[in-house]
Amino acid sequence: MTGSDAATDTITNAGTVYLTSPILDKYTTGKFAISFKSTNVSGTSTFKAVLQGSNDGTNWNGIHSVAGTDGVNCDTLQVTAAAPSYHTFTIIPGSVHSVSSSTFLYTGATRFLYIRVACIGTGTQSTIVSAKIVPFQ
């Protein structure tokens, strides 16, 4: 799921699929944008896309460790009735994001060797999901 290679899978009903990166050890800054797309095939596309990181490829944690459902400065994107929908997750280790002119949200993001998007379906659906990681300096 890096560069021009996108990871693609299909969520069926209440199933879960994982779009997982290869090892990212050559990208030393840990800064990434994850381009995420979902396309409805049938039913009602309702699912959560959860951004996760791992340093061993086995144990996974939320990258930002911040609650939320819109995918902005948080680990979870709630998708309802995707037809299609596009979203970009941004990971910048140790970054501070301004939520408003007087409020700051501190992300718990750190550098990970693997990144994945867990797509957790609900209801009756067939939804194609894909993700691509774009490293930046």
Asked if 98 contacts 33 with a C-beta cutoff of 8 angstroms, the reply is no
Average pLDDT over residues 119-133: 93
pLDDT for position 100: 55
Asked if the model's pLDDT at residue 109 lies above 80, the reply is no
**pTM summary value:** 0.86
In the chain, % of residues over pLDDT 90: 50
Res. 116: pLDDT tops 60: yes
| C-alpha–C-alpha distance, residues 118 and 19, integer Å | 6
- Residue 84: is the preceding peptide bond cis (ω within 30°)? yes
> What integer is the mean pLDDT of 53-67?
90
**Can you give the pLDDT at residue 99?**
55
Structure tokens at 119: 């797509």
Least confident of 47-51, 78-82, 113-117: 78-82
Task: State both tokens at 17.
Answer: 């699929």
Q: 2, 57, 80: which is closest to 35 by C-alpha?
A: 2
88-107 mean pLDDT: 65
Percentage of residues in the chain with pLDDT exceeding 70? 85
Per-residue pLDDT at 83 exceeds 80:
no
Query: How much is the average pLDDT of 12-16?
Result: 96
Q: Which domains does the chain have, with CATH numbers?
A: 7-135 (2.60.120.680)
Task: Tell me if residue 38 falls in helix, strand or coil.
Answer: strand
